Amino acid sequence: MFDSGVGGLSVYLHLAQQLPTERYVYYADTLNVPYGNRDSGDIETLTLKAVEWLHKQGCKLIVIACNSASAYALDTARRCYPHIPIVGLVPALKPAVLASKSGHVAVLATKATLNGTLLNDVIVNFAKPNNTVVTKYFDRNWYLG
């Protein structure tokens, strides 16, 4: 499992509950966190470095538990390692669309996630056909703390 920090630990905890006998390897790139304000080339390079490291550890499945890395590097990682299943994350837009009573959903995320093709594909292919308006929001001041 890979994340740009430790946020993916919640994903790990869920997986460990579902698959308790599996061995887990967690790559937290705390040296380069946050990914959300990096350009797409940096995100892709850092993600492929993490995937390569996990591959060398013998991982039989890789989870990219970072929305920004999933948005910009998931497809490339899958092309570079076609023999390993690689799963990415996208903000929980589908359940939000299904639960919305107003037909409006807000997505608060990093700039990289909001501008990436992964989220926008979900908007085009799932939210729009369900007549849901998606508002994307990124607050630089909040994010930089």
18 and 77 inside one domain? yes
Instruction: Give the span between the Cα atoms of 37 and 22, in whole angstroms.
Output: 34
Residue 135's domain comprises: 93-144
- Strand spans (E) along the chain: 2-3, 27-28, 62-64, 86-88, 104-108, 133-137
More confident residue, 135 or 87: 87
Give tens-digit pLDDT for 51-98. Answer: 999 999 999 999 999 989 999 999 999 999 999 999 998 778 888 888
72 and 12 inside one domain? yes
- Mean pLDDT of the region 6-10: 87
Give the closest residue to 52 by CA, choosing from 86, 5, 9, 10: 86
The residue type at 16: A
Q: What is the CATH number of the domain that holds 107?
A: 3.40.50.1860
8 and 61 inside one domain? yes
What does pTM read for this prediction? 0.82
Task: State how many domains the chain has.
Answer: 2
- Mean pLDDT of the region 112-128: 86
102 and 115 inside one domain? yes
Instruction: Give the span between the Cα atoms of 115 and 2, in whole angstroms.
Output: 21
Answer yes or no: is pLDDT of 2 > 60.
Answer: yes
| pLDDT at 139 (0 to 100) | 64
